[in-house]
Amino acid sequence: MAVAILAALGILPEDSIKECSFVGELALDGGLRAINGVLSHVILAHELNKKYCVVPKENVREGRAVSGIMTVGFSSLQDVMHFLLTGEFEEEITSTGEQADAPQAQTLDFSEILGQEAVKRAAAVASAGMHGLLMIGPPGTGKTLTAKRIPTILPPLTPKEQIECSKIHSVAGLLHPEDGLIKLRPFRSPHHTVSASALVGGGVVPRPGEMSLAHNGVLFLDELAEFPKTVLEVMRQPLEDQRVVISRVHGSYVFPTRVMLVCAMNPCRCGYYPDRSRCRCSEAEVRQYLSRLSRPLLDRIDIACEVPRVEASKLSEAKASGMDSETLKRLVADAWEIQKERYQGTGILFNSQLEGKRLRKYCQLGKEEQALLSEAFEKLELSARAHDRILKVARTAADIDGSEKIGMKHLSEAISYRTADRKFFGG
């Protein structure tokens, strides 16, 4: 606004501002203050075919993550005027928008989790198709350890995904000026005291919530049953639509929420049900605890697996198997590549996004497999949504094996991931 006024008064030539976009907060002393969301502004300026985007000096590195436009940073309005009059500016950093690769903190590895091979397999299948994962078991069995290691088996962010994630963090004010683009897949783990608006987004001036901050990455909800039921229920639609729409009087805001939801919980308040040698909860108390999770929410989680307690004698004898992070990462990467080729041009990235006609097209079953699924549907009293999610998981299990056809073992594995939650939550 200040630049426009100066141009209108004839102090600045109008031609000098036509190729520029201006973003920042002007202080009363004429200084320029850093703002949130600069990355989105620079991208818009580029789309409007601007040659320059003028930003506060603290935001210049963030802005230069966008190629095809020159982002220039200044400390004061006076410096901006000098630039517009002379075309001169101080070039302190390269304009390529590149950032040195952040060091991969690969100190975590699945090989460190002993005696839980079935859980590792479930985590790999979930990662391969970006399916929701729920782990149920007593304390100290490796649920949280597993969740924290899932990012180590996910492929790196693509350049497009880096921009998407960085834009969200920039709007939220979480993108450090010196960091440039986000290079690692987000891993967000909000505490169970989080509010609904903090989880899905909101506020007087809408801001992205934890679901959006985890976009293209992992949203981990530990102690799932301890979250208020009202908070968990607001996740249902964003999980389904992979975006959240926040409406206000002055407009609507859309934040993406394509996340891999990973949850962990104890089966009762003390944590040891159904081990009656340790669990002291009554049946009524167990049912009350588990009822905090609604069936519609559970049906939106594709994979549920039990994480049993490992005996000390077996744990001491256990050795790290071949299911380490490097091995699992190769399986996941191969499955992602298969899905990329299969769904090219459809707008679908992962099996977890299949629905309707496309679900029937890509998840066809033979007669034996169809008979097995029909039997499971009746015996487990599955909902239509759970039925479809079994097909999606079976498709992913087949992709991990490099099989075009969904076989009996793939379907059986997918069904087993629905029986685990039925054991605790019933029909």
Q: What is the pLDDT of residues 178-204, one digit of tens each?
A: 667 888 999 999 999 999 999 999 888
SS3 68: coil
Q: What is the mean pLDDT of residues 281-303?
A: 90
Per-residue pLDDT band at 310 (split at 50, 70, 90): confident
Report the pLDDT value the prediction gives residue 420, as an integer from 0 to 100.
77
Longest C-alpha distance within the chain, in Å? 85
Q: What is the pLDDT of residue 103?
A: 39
The 10s digit of each residue's pLDDT in 262-280 is 999 999 999 999 888 899 9
Q: Assess whether pLDDT exceeds 70 at residue 313.
A: no
Name the DSSP class of 130.
T
How does pLDDT run across 24-52, given as a tens digit for each residue?
Answer: 999 999 999 988 889 889 999 999 999 99
Look at the block and give the residue holding tokens 């075009």.
404
d(CA 159, CA 152) in angstroms, rounded, equals 19
For residue range 101-158, list pLDDT tens digits in order: 443 445 889 988 888 889 999 999 999 999 999 999 999 899 999 999 999 999 999 9
Give dist(CA 340, CA 361) in Å, integer. Answer: 16
DSSP letter, residue 363: S
- Per-residue model confidence as pLDDT tens digits over 318-366: 554 558 899 999 999 999 999 999 999 999 999 999 999 999 999 999 9
User: How far, in Å, CA of 333 to CA of 148, rounded?
Assistant: 18
pLDDT band at residue 91, thresholds of 50, 70 and 90?
Answer: low
Q: In three state form, how does the secondary structure of 54-99 look?
A: EEEHHHHHHHCCCCCCEEEEECEHHHHHHHHHHCCCCCCCCCCCCC
Q: Please state which of the ranges 78-87, 220-229, 398-407 shows the lowest mean pLDDT.
A: 78-87
CATH of domain 2-86: 3.30.230.10
Contact by Cβ (8 Å): 216, 185 = yes
Residue-level pLDDT at 94: 42
Q: What residue spans define the domains of the chain?
A: 2-86, 110-311+318-336
- Residue 318's pLDDT is what? 58
Q: What's the distance, Cα to Cα, between the start and end of the chain in Å?
A: 61
> What kind of fold does domain 110-311+318-336 have according to CATH?
Rossmann fold (3.40.50)
What band does 99 get if pLDDT is binned at 50, 70 and 90?
Answer: very low
Residues in the chain: 427
pLDDT band at 281 (very low <50, low <70, confident <90, very high): very high
Q: What is the pLDDT of residue 175?
A: 82
Q: Which pTM was predicted?
A: 0.85
Radius of gyration in angstroms for the set of CA atoms belonging to the chain, rounded to a whole number: 25
Residue 301 has pLDDT above 80, yes or no: yes
Cβ neighbours, 10 Å, residue 298: 21
For the chain, the average pLDDT equals 88
What tens digit of pLDDT does each residue of 49-85 get?
A: 999 999 999 888 888 888 889 999 999 999 999 999 8
- In this structure, which amino acid lies at residue 88? E
Give me the pLDDT at residue 224, please. Answer: 95
Per-residue pLDDT at 319: 58
C-alpha 305: how far from its chain's center?
20
| Tens digits of residue pLDDT in 409-419 | 999 999 999 88
